[in-house]
Amino acid sequence: MTLRHTGLMLLFFLIVYPMWVTGGTQTAWQLPLPLLAALLLGTIVLVSHRRLWRDPITFLGGAFLLLLIQWWNSPRPQVFDSLIQAWVFAPPPVPFLPSAVSRPDAAEMLRWFFPVWTIALAARHLDLRETLTTRRFLNAILIAAALLAFGSIIQFAIATQWNCGTIPSKSYFVTSFGYGNQAGSFFVLCFSIAIGFMLSTLLHRQPVRAKVWSVLCSLLMLGGGLISLSRSAIILSLIVLAFTALYVLTFRIGQTSRATRFNRLMATLAIATAAFLAIYPLVGDSVVDELSRRYPETAELCLPANWTHSALENIRPIYREIAVKVLRDNFWFGAGGWAVRHLGIIYLPLKQHSLLQTEGAANTHNDTLQFLSEFGVLGMALLWTGIGVIATPLIRHWRTLWNSPRTVFNILGLLAITIHSNFDIPFRSPAILFLWTLVLCLTAQEGAAVFKRQA
């Protein structure tokens, strides 16, 4: 086995491990993440040490210096200020440097983002530029995700209360994911990727078994997304389905006959009918109930009259306003990982402190705001600089991408999760964060390869 194959195996396990183990969200199970990432980084250095130093993503790894400083320059314990007669958080050991409220929470951010950086480097330097290699690697990941989706369907059908068959749970879960909305986001991303594979096999000459597998995989991912009972995931899945029908009918429309377009329409209707007949009897009523369910409005939560904010569906706007205030006071570097759940009591009236004890209060349910409150404007600038560098081939060659179903639907999945992250917390799950990063890198490289083939 070559070093490159070893690196690909490590990359595969780094992507699959969190999706199979609580979505990567439980700190007790996160130790393998940095260990696998460190082994993978060592392999990358051995395989591609010369090209590595010419890659701007390598130097953006300096962003980890911010996370390391936050971890080192912590904690900020809560103390009682007798002068103002209130509990406050003490300043960090070095006040002018980035800091975090809690050192364990700052360490968790390192366990998340060090693997993200390593995954980006691996995708760019382990010779995954070849279309066939990329397809096989993503197909292997889809197999792992399809097994997880199949498990979620079984779990839903038998109504088990045992997460992963071993951990008792009183709240709703979807296989290894303890939070249904994160499970929904994960399966929406996988569903979009699987649709790209399915169309690539159906619209081109591929073996029958490849076509059957791609259809079955897409149905499993759709089932997993619907079973999550996440309203956002259900809506996003329906959007992906509608876009699929539009894409099939317009794919190379100027180069196909009417008979071919009619056959595509009939095939689309047949697959849609099969999906409906297979999935609706199991989850149809639950999906309809979720879409029709009404959340309590802010006015119904018995909040004090002096607490003003946008009256939206539920209590989450309060958490988002806390994040904005944390960002305002820690504009450049943020307040460190999970800052909102610690600093919330500073910005809430005394009568509202009990709201921080409700389920979900640790998050703002807006990944953009949460990231800004934790890492500041500089952290966000580094993040988007890295994304921009990786996505440059897609931006440069966007006109040539429509004829590649895999590329189009990978981009659709990436956009769906990015949009969802402004209303929920998909990127607080390493399983989604890692897969999203990998798909972005591989899609950018495949987009460049599509342009070269067409040129």
In a domain, 432, yes or no: no
324 domain residue, yes or no: no
Separation CA 88–CA 220 (nearest Å): 50
**Is residue 341 included in any domain, yes or no?**
no
- pLDDT at position 74 is 92
Strand partners, 88: 79
**Residue 433 near residue 427 (C-beta atoms within 8 A):** yes
pLDDT digits (tens, 9 = 90+) for 334-375: 999 999 888 888 888 777 777 676 666 678 889 999 999 999
Whether residue 283 lies inside any domain: the answer is no
Q: What is the pLDDT of residue 360?
A: 67
For residue 347, being part of any structural domain is answered with no
Query: What's residue 345's pLDDT?
Result: 83
**What range defines the domain where residue 4 resides?**
1-129
Domain annotation covers residue 221: no
Average pLDDT by consecutive 10-residue portion of the chain (455 residues)? 89 96 92 97 90 90 84 89 79 93 95 96 83 83 95 80 63 81 95 94 82 91 90 92 88 66 75 74 69 52 40 66 93 93 83 69 88 95 94 86 90 96 94 97 82 60
5 occurs within a structural domain:
yes
DSSP 308-350: -----SSSHHHHHHHHHHHHHHSTTT-S-TTHHHHHHHHHS-G
Is 396 part of any domain?
Answer: no
The per-residue pLDDT for 400 is: 79
pLDDT at 291: 65
pTM for the complete prediction? 0.90
Q: What is the pLDDT of residue 255?
A: 60
DSSP 405-434: HHHHHHHHHHHHHHHHTTTS-GGGSHHHHH
